[in-house]
Amino acid sequence: MGNRKSVPSATRDALWGKAAGCCQICSAPLFEGGAYRTSGNYSNIAHIHAYSEDGPRFNEKLSENDRNSIENLMLLCPQCHKTVDDDEVTYTADVLQSIKSKREEYVSKVMQASKPQKAYAVTVTCPIHGNATEISRSEWSQAMASSGMVHAGDTEIRVMDSNAASGSIADDCSLLARKINGLRLTMDPTLPLAIFAIAPQPILIALGNLIGDKQQVTVFQKQRDTDSWCWHDAKCQSSFQHDAVPSSDSAEVALVFSVSGTVSKETLPAELTSSGMPVLELRAANPSVYIARTQEDVRAFEHEAISLLDEVHSAMPHVAKVHIFPALPVSMAVTLGGLFNRNLLTKAVVYEKTDGRFSQSIEIGGSDD
């Protein structure tokens, strides 16, 4: 037949990609081999219909170019290559085409499933104790990438920054509400939100309440030990519990969240503690500013908070107002705010600790849906 034409390098590269660098029959990786798994190219390019007339499964109707086309080629390990060529009865052209097609379809599905999830990067920053705060593009983009996400736009959505913040929590929450309501008109509601926030606790809880639960949300947490917004690659190490909820006809209840620190009952307003209003605490087993290390830690908190709110709703059917005293990391504060959209409790009063005592800061309302 004359000189045999080699498979074009572009076709070789494409075949390698479609096979994900593995044998298309036994799945053995072809980028390493030998007793010491040395890196290299250990693949064979096998023809379904042989290139040569005396080869297995030769088809005279195919041109030379067709024989070297990617449709007629498989990426195999040396052992599988020998097996299919030695046993034409078992490994017919139709059988090999089916194996090739199914393997390439599988690789495609896996790659599609592992594609980064598009999401909107949303940043909220406010001065803390008079000091400006900032979240850089490199910080939020690295955190999103580490969680399998990529920003859906050209730049982050700055709902509020330290320059726009007024310093008044009530005014800043009103600004926050206007900005988020405006975003609803421009965002694709099917894409999730990636939230990065540095703000006082009342604003964080209001942020969660404004975002609601109609859109998938991932709230990121600045890690103090790594100075990064990337989650730790570890198992959930946090545990939470809450006080037993008594049956009561009270119209109000106080909920204390001792998570990033312990909230002392002595720091609550005296008029509240002396009113006879039930005071219930949700607490971490080991309160710490380092507690939100993984997304599983946040989910564990969310599960316990939902349990507490559900029990309050059931045991205290007349409750119309909840007083919130938070010591929470950012991610859990935003998550808590979102829970008040579940239409269980109509109004929440959020308190902020200043000069060692809690004072009323803002009110957030339940959903009317």
Instruction: Tell me the residue range of the domain where 194 lies.
Output: 117-365
In a domain, 359, yes or no: yes
In a domain, 3, yes or no: no
In a domain, 1, yes or no: no
| C-beta of residue 204 within 8 angstroms of C-beta of residue 334 | yes
Q: Are residues 42 and 186 in the same domain?
A: no
Quote the pLDDT of residue 181. Answer: 84
In a domain, 4, yes or no: no
In a domain, 205, yes or no: yes
Beta carbons within 10 angstroms of residue 25's beta carbon: 21
Q: Are residues 154 and 47 in the same domain?
A: no
- The count of structural domains within the chain is 2
SS3 category, 215: coil
Q: Are residues 181 and 215 in the same domain?
A: yes
Q: Where among 113, 131, 151 does a domain terminate?
A: 113
pLDDT average per 10 residues of sequence, the chain (369 residues): 77 94 93 81 94 94 94 96 94 94 90 82 83 87 91 74 70 86 82 92 92 86 94 89 95 96 95 92 96 95 95 92 96 93 74 92 69
Quote the pLDDT of residue 81. Answer: 96
Q: Where among 75, 93, 113 does a domain terminate?
A: 113
Quote the pLDDT of residue 367. Answer: 47
Q: Are residues 181 and 32 in the same domain?
A: no
In a domain, 81, yes or no: yes
Q: Which amino acid is at 4?
A: R
Tokens of 187: 């965002």
In a domain, 134, yes or no: yes
Quote the pLDDT of residue 1. Answer: 45
Q: Are residues 217 and 101 in the same domain?
A: no
In a domain, 355, yes or no: yes
On whether the pTM is more than 0.85, the answer is no
Look at residues 18, 6, 8, 115 and name the one whose alpha carbon lies nearest to residue 51: 6
Q: Are residues 317 and 171 in the same domain?
A: yes
Question: Which helix (H) or strand (E) is 195 found in, with range?
Answer: strand 193-198
Q: Are residues 261 and 312 in the same domain?
A: yes
Q: Are residues 173 and 293 in the same domain?
A: yes
* H helical segments located in the chain: 9-18, 64-67, 78-86, 93-113, 137-146, 169-183, 201-211, 270-273, 295-315, 330-339
